[in-house]
Amino acid sequence: MRARILGVIVAAGLTAACVSPASPDAPDGLARRIVSLDYCADQYVLGLAERSRILALSPDAGEAFSYLRAAADGVPMVRPRAEDVLALRPDLVVRSYGGGPRAQAFFERSGVPVLQIDYASDIAAVRAGVRDAAAGLGVPTRGEALIADMDARIERARAGGSGTRTLYLTLAGVSAGSGTFVHHLIEAAGLGNFDDRSGWRSIPLERLAYEAPDVYAVPSFGATNHENAWTPFRHPVATERVVAGPSLGIDGATTACGAWFLADVVEAFAAGAAGAADAASDAGVAGASRALRP
For position 221, what pLDDT does the model report? 77
Please check the confidence at residue 74 and state whether its pLDDT lies above 60.
yes
Q: State whether the Cα torsion 34-112-95-148 is positive or negative.
A: negative
152 and 216 share one domain? yes
Residue 17: predicted pLDDT = 35
Asked if residue 77 belongs to a domain, the reply is yes
Confidence (pLDDT) at 245: 86
Same domain as 152, residue 89: no
Q: What is the Cα–Cα distance from 290 to 142, expressed in whole angstroms?
A: 56
Distance CA 272, CA 294 (A): 36
pLDDT at 279 over 50: yes
How open is the CA angle 157-163-165, to the nearest 5 degrees?
Answer: 110
Stated as kind and residue range, the H or E segment containing 32 is none
Does the pLDDT at position 250 exceed 70?
yes
Does residue 89 sit within a domain? Answer: yes
In terms of domains, do 82 and 185 share one?
no
pLDDT of residue 150: 98
- Is residue 6 situated within a structural domain? no
**Per-residue pLDDT at 230:** 80
- What's the pLDDT band for 231 if we cut at 50, 70, 90? confident
125 within 8 A of 49, measured Cβ to Cβ: no
Structural domain count, the chain: 2
Q: Are residues 216 and 178 in the same domain?
A: yes
Average pLDDT over the chain, rounded to an integer: 85
pLDDT of 120 strictly over 60: yes
pLDDT in tens, 146-186: 999 999 999 999 987 678 899 999 988 999 999 999 999 99
Q: Which domain holds residue 216?
A: 147-291
| Strand order across the 114-116 sheet | 54-56, 34-36, 92-95, 114-116
* 131 occurs within a structural domain: no
Please check whether residues 208 and 262 belong to one and the same domain. yes
Query: Are 180 and 249 in a shared domain?
Result: yes
The residue type found at 87 is A
- Average pLDDT score over residue span 276-285: 49
What is the model's pLDDT at position 216?
94
Is 2 part of any domain? Answer: no
Q: How confident is the model at residue 276 (pLDDT cuts 50, 70, 90)?
A: confident
pLDDT-derived band at 273, boundaries 50, 70, 90 = confident
- Do 186 and 70 lie in one domain? The reply is no
Rounded Cα–Cα distance for residues 10 and 18 (Å): 13
Does one domain contain both 170 and 286? yes
> Are 197 and 154 found together in one domain?
yes
Tens digit of each residue's pLDDT (9 = 90 or more) over 191-217: 999 999 999 999 999 999 999 999 999
- Please report the pLDDT score of residue 227 as a whole number: 59
Give 37-50 pLDDT, tens digit per residue: 999 999 999 999 99
pLDDT above 60 for 265: yes
The pLDDT confidence band at residue 226, using thresholds 50, 70 and 90, is: low
For position 225, which CATH number holds? 3.40.50.1980
Instruction: Give percent of the chain above pLDDT 70.
Output: 82
